[in-house]
Amino acid sequence: MTGLLLAAILAPIGASIATLIGGWRRATATLIVLSALTVLGCGAALGFQLGSGTRFTLGGLLRVDALSVTMLIVIGIVATLATWASLGYLDAELAHGHTDARGARVYGALTSAFLAAMVVALCANNIGVIWVAIEATTVITAFLVGHRRTRTALEATWKYVVICSVGIAMAFLGTVLLYYAAERAGAPANAALNIDVLMAHAGVLDPGTARLAGGLLLIGYGAKAGLFPFHTWLADAHSQAPAPVSALMSGVLLSVAFSVLIRIKPIIDAATGPTFMRSGLLVIGLATLLIAALMLTVTPDIKRMLAYSSMENMGLIAIAAAAGTTLAIAALLLHVLAHGIGKTVLFLASGQLQAAHNSTAIADITAVLRRSRLIGVSLAVGVIVLLGLPPFAMFASELAIARSLADARLSWALAAGMLLIVVAFAALARNSGRILLGDSNGAPAIAVPRAVAGALILGIAASIAIGITAGPLTDLFIAAAGNVGAAP
C-alpha cells in the first residue's frame, strides 16, 4: 500500500522532471500521460486492497481511506483525458506560433507537478501539509492559466492569484487556530494537525476557537472550490486557461479543494455541534448556486458558461455536504465523478471550437453538429450529463441528493436549490441549442487532432459506462461517507 501511494505521488513528479530536462517531445509527453494513468491505477488498486478502513503509512504522514481512493480515481480519469488531449493541443499551439519550445516545456512540467500536488493534498494526514499542497496548486496553475501570455490571460492570472491567495491565507489562519485549540486540548505538539489526532481530541476542543477556525477554513478552502464569496476568479481563469488545463481545474481541482472541507467538517462538528458547519455550507452553497444560475442566463461566452456550470455544481455539492448523511456524501461523490468526466469532455470540445473560430463567443459558434460529428456529439453528451438527464450518472446523484436533503429535514434548501437548478438548466439548454444547431453557411472547418479525438471518445465512453452502472463504486462511496463521520 505504501508503494502504491508513493507511485501515485512520484510518477507525476518524475514526469515533470523529465519534461524539464528533455523538453516537450513525444517521449516526455507520453510519460505525462502514463503518470496520470499511474494515479488512476494506484487509486483502483488501493480501492481493491483497502476495504472500509483507514490505513496510515510513512509514520502517519500519509493516510489511505475510501475518500482519498475515490478522489484518486477522479484525478486519474480526468488527468488521463486532459494530458492525452494536451498532445494535440500543444502540437497545434506550436504549429500556429501561439507558444514556443520553452512554453511547451513549462506547460508539460507544470501539468505533471499539478497532478502531484493534488495527490499529496488528498493523501496527506496532516492539515498543514494539505494546506501547503493546495497552495502549491495555486502557484502552479497560475502559470498554466497565463500560458498564452495575452493581456486577458495575464489579467485572469493575477485575479486568480490575488483572490485565491486571500482565501488560502484565511485557511492558513484557520489551520493555526485549530492547532492552538488541539494543543490546548492535550494533543501532542508534533502531531496536533494530524487528522486522526484532531478527530480524537475534537470533543474537547474549545468551541469558540473551533467555530472561528471552522469558519475561516470554510471560506478559505471554499475560495479554491469556487464557492461564494471568493468565486469571482473562476470564470476568468477557466475561460483563459488552455482547454486541457480548464478541464483539470474544473473537473478535479475544485473537488479536491472541497474534499478538504469534507475532512474538516466532522472535527468542527464534534467541537461545536452539527449546526455551525451545516448552516455555513447551506448559505454558501445556495449563494453560489444563485450567482451561477443568474450568470448562466446572461453569459455570452462558451468557456465562461462552462465555468459558471462548475460553480453551480459546486454549490449543489456544498448543499449535499450540509445534509451530512451517508446517502448525501455517497451521492456527492458520484456527482463529483460524473461532473468531472462530463466537464472534461466539454472543455476539450470547446477548445477545438475556440481554435476553429479564434473566439469563444456563443454568437460566433453555430451548427457544430453539422460541421463536426465528433465535436457535436461530444458537446451534446457533455451537456446532457450536466443537465442531469438519464442515462447519465448525474441524474442518479441529483435524485439521491434531493432525497438526502428531504430526509435531513432541509426541504426548504431543496426547494430553493431545485428552483435555481431549473434556471441553470434552461440557460444551458438554450445556449447549447444555439451552438449545436443553426445554419452552417460560411462557418469555418473544425479540425480535431488525433490525441484530442481519442480523449473525447474515451471521455464519452466513460460517461456512458458510469451512467449505466456505477454499482462497483457504490460500496466505495458508502465507505467514504463512513470515513468522514456521515450520519446514517
For the ranges 157-166, 341-350, 436-445, the one whose mean pLDDT is highest: 341-350
Examine residue 9 and state whether it is found in any structural domain, yes or no. yes
Q: Mean pLDDT over all residues of the chain?
A: 91
User: What is this structure's pTM?
Assistant: 0.95
Lowest average pLDDT, out of 5-14, 74-83, 113-122, 429-438, goes to 429-438
Cβ-based neighbour number of residue 170 at 10 Å: 20
421: left (phi over 0), alpha (psi -120 to 50) or beta: alpha
Examine residue 381 and state whether it is found in any structural domain, yes or no. yes
Query: Considering just the CA atoms, what is the radius of gyration of the chain in Å?
Result: 21
The amino acid present at 69, given as its one-letter code, is V
Examine residue 63 and state whether it is found in any structural domain, yes or no. yes
Predicted confidence (pLDDT) per residue in 60-107, tens digit: 889 999 999 999 999 999 999 999 999 999 988 888 888 888 989 999
Q: pLDDT at position 488, please?
A: 61
Lowest average pLDDT, out of 36-45, 132-141, 430-439, goes to 430-439
Q: Does residue 447 register a pLDDT over 90?
A: no
Examine residue 382 and state whether it is found in any structural domain, yes or no. yes
Q: Domain count for the chain, please give it.
A: 1
| Residue 356: all three cell numbers together | 476553429
- With a pLDDT cut of 70, the percent of the chain lying above it is 99
Cis peptide before 391 (omega within 30 of 0): yes
Q: What is the widest separation between alpha-carbon atoms in the chain? A: 73
Q: What is the 8-class DSSP label of residue 98?
A: S
Helices (H), 251-372: 254-272, 275-296, 302-323, 326-357, 368-371
Q: Does residue 428 register a pLDDT over 70?
A: yes
DSSP string, 387-443: HT-TTSHHHHHHHHHHHHHHHTT-HHHHHHHHHHHHHHHHHHHHHHHHHHSS--TTP
| 330-344 mean pLDDT | 95
Examine residue 488 and state whether it is found in any structural domain, yes or no. no
Examine residue 223 and state whether it is found in any structural domain, yes or no. yes
Examine residue 130 and state whether it is found in any structural domain, yes or no. yes
| 408-412 mean pLDDT | 91
The amino acid present at 400, given as its one-letter code, is A
Residue 81, domain extent = 2-483
- Give the CB-side neighbour count of residue 65, counting CA atoms within 13 A: 23
> How far is residue 333's CA from residue 115's CA, in Å, rounded to a whole number?
19
Lowest average pLDDT, out of 32-36, 419-423, 469-473, goes to 469-473
Predicted confidence (pLDDT) per residue in 27-73, tens digit: 999 999 999 999 999 999 998 887 667 888 888 889 999 999 999 99
What's the pLDDT band for 114 if we cut at 50, 70, 90? very high
- Give the CB-side neighbour count of residue 418, counting CA atoms within 13 A: 13
Lowest average pLDDT, out of 42-56, 258-272, 276-290, 333-347, goes to 42-56
> How far is residue 344's CA from residue 347's CA, in Å, rounded to a whole number?
5
Lowest average pLDDT, out of 234-238, 267-271, 296-300, 376-380, goes to 234-238
> How far is residue 149's CA from residue 60's CA, in Å, rounded to a whole number?
42
What's the pLDDT band for 439 if we cut at 50, 70, 90? confident
| 337-350 mean pLDDT | 95
What's the pLDDT band for 268 if we cut at 50, 70, 90? very high
| 251-265 mean pLDDT | 94
Q: pLDDT at position 487, please?
A: 63
Q: pLDDT at position 471, please?
A: 67
- 144 in helix, strand or coil? helix
